Amino acid sequence: MLDVIIWIIIAVLFILSFVGIIFPIVPSVLVLWIGFLLYQFVLNGTELNTLFWIIMIVFTVLLIGADIIANSYFVKKYGGSKWGERGAAIAVIVGSFITPPFGIIYIPFLVVFIIEMVQRRTMRDAFKASLGSLFGFLGGAFAKIVIQLVMIIWFFLLVVF
């Protein structure tokens, strides 16, 4: 009976990790790790091998950096300055705490726009760079979905097969 309860908790945690993509107040990667660790320390401590844990650490680093990397990349791609890129990276982090879940979208947009205007860019160029921050959010969210799916699928492949 305990096994069934733990499996239900693990499933809920994995689902909750996807909620964290939209509501950054839910720490997606931490929720995933709690599911992995529950399995490891409560159900079966032998099936998740060293390679699994190493790759999960690599994926965790990618998950943490996905928003920041995507935002900086798209701001630069859409003509933003180095300061706009840096501002977008910081604004993603700050925005996720100001007004979740929407702060992660509009705070970087506004910050990049203001930074570009302060640097005497045209309103059109500043707006274009700000759009890059929006595309950065979408790109980062997509990357996080893919990475989390890979992590969960890998977990189930090791556990089930």
Report the chain (161 residues): mean pLDDT per 10 consecutive residues: 93 93 79 96 91 95 82 83 86 81 86 93 92 86 93 94 80
Q: Measured between alpha carbons, how far is 141 from 130 in angstroms, rounded to an integer?
A: 17
Number of domains making up the chain: 1
Please state the pTM of the whole predicted model. 0.80
Name the nearest CA neighbour of 65 among 32, 38, 101, 28.
Answer: 28
Q: What is the pLDDT of residue 156?
A: 94
Q: Which residues contact 95 (CB under 8 A, 6 or more apart)?
A: 103, 104, 105, 106, 107, 108
In which domain, by residue range, is 54 found? 2-160
